[in-house]
Structures are given as C-alpha cells and as structure tokens.
C-alpha cells in the first residue's frame, strides 16, 4: 500500500503543476474578470471550492513558477511536491533555484520551510544609511490631468514597515470578505487591491471617532446637478469639492445611500438656499437589510463586511427607498453595477437578476462531472503526457540526518554575494 500512496502522490503533484500552469495563464489573461470575480483567487474560491487563503497561495505559486524553469520541470514530472514548491517559491529566483531544488531533493518539506524562514530573517543594519533615510523621507500627493490622485513618497524602513503592516491588514480584511477594488472598464490591473487597502486604512482612521456602523464621522462633498443624477449622460456639474470632475455614473454610485443635500445656487454659483438631508437609508431599514441579505447579493459573492446599500432603481429616477428596491452589494460589485457595465433588475430579495455588460445573466457555477475512476483517469492522463511516474519518482535522498539550517542559509547567501559581484 505504501508504494501505491507514493505513486499516486507523485501523479497528483504532476497534475497539480498542470493546474498551476493553467491558473497562471488564466490569471495573466484576467479571464476571471469577465464573470465579475474580484480576482483569480476569488474565482478559485467560488468555482472550485478552494478556501480563499489556499486560493491566494495557489495563485502566488503559479505566478512564481513561470520564472523558475528548473523547479517547474521537476514538479511537472512529479519529482517534488506542491508543499516543497510552495515553500521554495517564497525566496526562489532564476539564480538560486538550482540550489533550492537540490535541497528539495535531499530533505523533507519541514527542512525547506525552516531554511526559508531563516533565510528571510537575514538583514543588515547600517546607522549611516538610517540617517540618510530619515533625512530623505517625504510624502506628496496631487491630482493629475486625468483626475486621479497621485501619491509619491519615501519612508524610513521602520515607518514603511508600519504602513505595509497596515496595508496588509487591510488587504487581508478585504480578501477575507472577498472585498476588492473597482477595476476600470478595461479590467483590473495589478496593484488595485493595495490601492483599495489604502482607502480602507484611511476610512478606518476617519471612522475611529465615529458613532458606529452607520455613523458619519467624515464627509466627502460631491457637487452634482439633479439632471446628471437622473441621466449620467446629461450635461451639468459633477465634481468633488475642490477636486476633479467625476462621471455621472460615479456620482450615482456615491449617492446610492448617502446623505443628499438639495442646494439652490445663484447664477454666480453662490448658495441661495439649502434644504434638509434626504434619501438616506435609516438605521432601522439598514438593519432589516442586513438581516435579510446578510451578504453581497451578487451571485457567488459571500462578502459580509463593508456592504453598500444599492437602490435597484435609483432614487433620482423615482426609485423608492424601501426593502423591495434595496439590496446589499460589496464595494466591488456596487462599482460594477454603476460604472462597470453590469446591471441588476427585479425586486429584492428573490427576483434579483444580475447581468454582465454583454447582457448575460450571472449564475452560480455548477461543479464539473468526474469520470467513474478519477485516479485511473489521472494516471492515464499523465501517461499520455509522456510522464513515467512510479513509487520512487518523488523519493528524496535523505537518511534522517538533522538539518543544518545555518549552513543552508549561508550557502544561499554566498550564492547571492557571487551574483552581486558578477
């Protein structure tokens, strides 16, 4: 039986490599964006049932393998396991992959994990450099000609570590709830998740002195004509206060569940009369929405945090602020139904229909059919690929000797120094 376990494991590792290659290609082409998924990891989470953390790891490893031909070749033949590849890809490069592959072939995965941990701890302190870093720190922000806020800066490492920690925590919060960034019309680009995380960090800082989930500790002022809210293509004012112009669709999204103040202005733009706030979903109505919908109502989306209230028929077009005309959507899918070309129609909660920009109804994904004998089919597929996999394919050259992690890390560092000198 032990031989059968070893042989099947090697076949699974070879098949896992093919899966990772497909994931890398799918992610590079951003095929997941077509169906309204937040990321490739979110697609894997919904489509094949991977946990979101495991899905993110799959995507990370898949991307890394594209730059590591030696490790890729070994895994494609079932010679190294996914656990080992997952470990070494955290520090592997085309320059050191041969050494890491040799370690993978002469020790268990636990040894590799320890070497990787120790290697990543290595660093050098430089007092003079620290002084230069303090003197060179700065942060600048300005709106560019396209209306985007551009942030540039240089931070000392200890301050940068705090910023990165905050961004990573915000990214984790967004990913745990499958929250993500709104893409532009050409599809998501790398770095958008971090940009969204920065926005979440800013919101949390401003909300720290708020009054709860529905509190309003800060305001972003948007000036927009009523005609633009009723018809995003209509001409009229639509801009941030003391900021750049916005699209009509963006104004509709921002005002979907926001305090709206009606203001009458004179011909010179001076305010003549200011009305009361209106069209804000009450706390009681919001609680009823949360109790009913619980998550974002976009098919396949399970986000529960930072949900936005969406008017199915916008209030500027006469839509009512009641339960049947309201639904909950995460920031990403709220963006998609306003600026991303997606639509939602029907009455909440049971008659909602989301459609893609092409007009296709968005549905949940059904699991694929499996062959009667999946194991035999897997081995047959590997054989058709020309792979000769047996019980000894993934065997390592190790006799139980303890790991000398210090020697292994020094060997990698010496290799790094040789590359630098070259």
- Tell me the average pLDDT across 407-411: 80
Within-domain flag for 213: no
Residue 273: its H or E element: strand 271-278
State whether 58 and 119 are in the same domain: yes
State whether 188 and 304 are in the same domain: no
Q: What is the pLDDT of residues 54-63, one digit of tens each?
A: 889 999 999 9
Domain end among 159, 175, 207: 207
The SS3 call for residue 367 is: coil
Cα–Cα distance measured from residue 15 to residue 381, given in angstroms and rounded to the nearest whole number:
9
- Tell me the average pLDDT across 236-241: 67
Within-domain flag for 378: yes
Within-domain flag for 263: yes
State whether 166 and 253 are in the same domain: no
- Tell me the average pLDDT across 191-209: 78
- Which of 311, 322, 314, 310 is closest to 284 using CA atoms? 322
Within-domain flag for 367: no
State whether 394 and 290 are in the same domain: no
Looking up tokens 């985007």 gives 148
State whether 338 and 229 are in the same domain: yes
The residue segments making up the domain with residue 351 are 222-355
Domain end among 308, 327, 355: 355
Looking up tokens 């085309």 gives 94
pLDDT of residue 125: 39
Give the list of residues 6+ apart from residue 288 with CB closer than 8 angstroms, or none.
323
State whether 243 and 342 are in the same domain: yes
pLDDT of residue 227: 65
CA 225 from centre of chain: 34
Q: What is the pLDDT of residues 129-161, one digit of tens each?
A: 556 767 778 888 877 777 788 888 888 777 777
- Which of 306, 312, 298 is closest to 331 using CA atoms? 306
Looking up tokens 């009361």 gives 276
Within-domain flag for 361: no
pLDDT greater at residue 330 or residue 127: 330
Query: pTM value?
Result: 0.56
Domain end among 328, 355, 382: 355
State whether 139 and 235 are in the same domain: no
State whether 226 and 350 are in the same domain: yes
Q: Does 288 score more than 70 pLDDT?
A: yes
Distance between start and end Cα atoms, the chain: 50
Contact of 157 with 165, CB cutoff 8 Å: no
Burial 173-193 (b: 16+ CB within 10 A, else e): bbbebbbbbbbeeeebeeebb
Give one DSSP letter per residue of 370-404, joined into a string: PPS-HHHHHHHHHHHTT----TTTT-----SPPP-
Token pair for residue 195? 């940009």
Within-domain flag for 74: yes
Looking up tokens 């730059």 gives 67
Q: Does 236 score more than 70 pLDDT?
A: no
Give the total number of structural domains in the chain: 3
pLDDT greater at residue 122 or residue 263: 122
State whether 276 and 336 are in the same domain: yes
Lowest mean pLDDT among 59-68, 223-232, 349-358: 223-232
Within-domain flag for 364: no
State whether 181 and 249 are in the same domain: no
pLDDT of residue 188: 43
Contact of 118 with 92, CB cutoff 8 Å: no
Within-domain flag for 259: yes
CA distances from 112 to 70, 96, 99, 411 (A): 17, 14, 12, 14
The SS3 call for residue 122 is: coil
State whether 147 and 106 are in the same domain: no
State whether 349 and 378 are in the same domain: no
């Amino acid at each position: 039986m032990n031989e059968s376990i070893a042989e099947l494991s090697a076949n699974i590792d070879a098949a896992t490599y093919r899966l990772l290659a497909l994931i890398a290609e799918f992610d590079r082409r951003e095929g997941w964006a077509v169906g309204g998924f937040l990321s490739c990891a979110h697609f894997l989470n919904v489509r094949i049932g991977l946990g979101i953390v495991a899905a993110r790891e799959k995507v990370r490893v898949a991307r890394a393998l594209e730059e590591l031909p030696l490790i890729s070749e070994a895994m494609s033949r079932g010679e190294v396991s996914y656990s080992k590849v997952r470990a070494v890809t955290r520090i592997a490069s085309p320059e050191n992959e041969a050494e890491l592959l040799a370690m993978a072939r002469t020790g268990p995965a636990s040894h590799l994990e320890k070497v990787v941990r120790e290697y990543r701890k290595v660093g050098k302190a430089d007092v003079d450099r620290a002084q230069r870093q303090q003197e060179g720190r700065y942060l600048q922000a300005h709106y560019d000609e396209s209306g985007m806020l551009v942030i540039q800066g240089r931070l000392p490492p200890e301050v940068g570590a705090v910023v990165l920690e905050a961004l990573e925590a915000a990214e984790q919060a967004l990913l745990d709830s499958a929250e993500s960034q709104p893409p532009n019309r050409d599809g998501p680009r790398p770095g958008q998740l971090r940009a969204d995380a920065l926005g979440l960090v800013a919101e949390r800082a401003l909300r720290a002195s708020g009054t709860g989930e529905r509190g309003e500790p800060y305001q972003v002022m948007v000036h927009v004509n009523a005609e633009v809210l009723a018809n995003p293509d209509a001409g009229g004012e639509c801009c941030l206060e003391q900021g750049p112009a916005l699209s009509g669709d963006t104004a509709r999204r921002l005002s979907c569940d926001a305090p709206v103040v009606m203001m009458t202005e004179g011909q010179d733009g001076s305010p003549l009369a200011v009305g009361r706030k209106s069209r804000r979903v009450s706390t009681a109505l919001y609680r009823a929405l949360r109790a009913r919908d619980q998550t974002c109502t976009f098919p396949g989306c399970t986000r529960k945090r930072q949900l936005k209230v969406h008017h199915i028929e916008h209030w500027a077009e006469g839509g009512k602020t009641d339960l049947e005309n309201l639904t909950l959507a995460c920031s990403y899918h709220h963006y998609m139904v306003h600026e991303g070309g997606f639509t939602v129609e029907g009455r909440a909660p049971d008659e909602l229909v989301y459609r893609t920009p092409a007009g296709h109804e968005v549905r949940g994904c059904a699991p694929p059919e499996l062959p009667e004998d999946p194991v035999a089919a897997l081995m047959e597929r590997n054989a058709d690929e020309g792979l000769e996999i047996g019980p000894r394919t993934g065997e390592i050259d190790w006799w139980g000797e303890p790991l000398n992690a210090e020697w292994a890390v020094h060997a990698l560092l010496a290799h790094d120094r040789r590359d630098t000198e070259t």
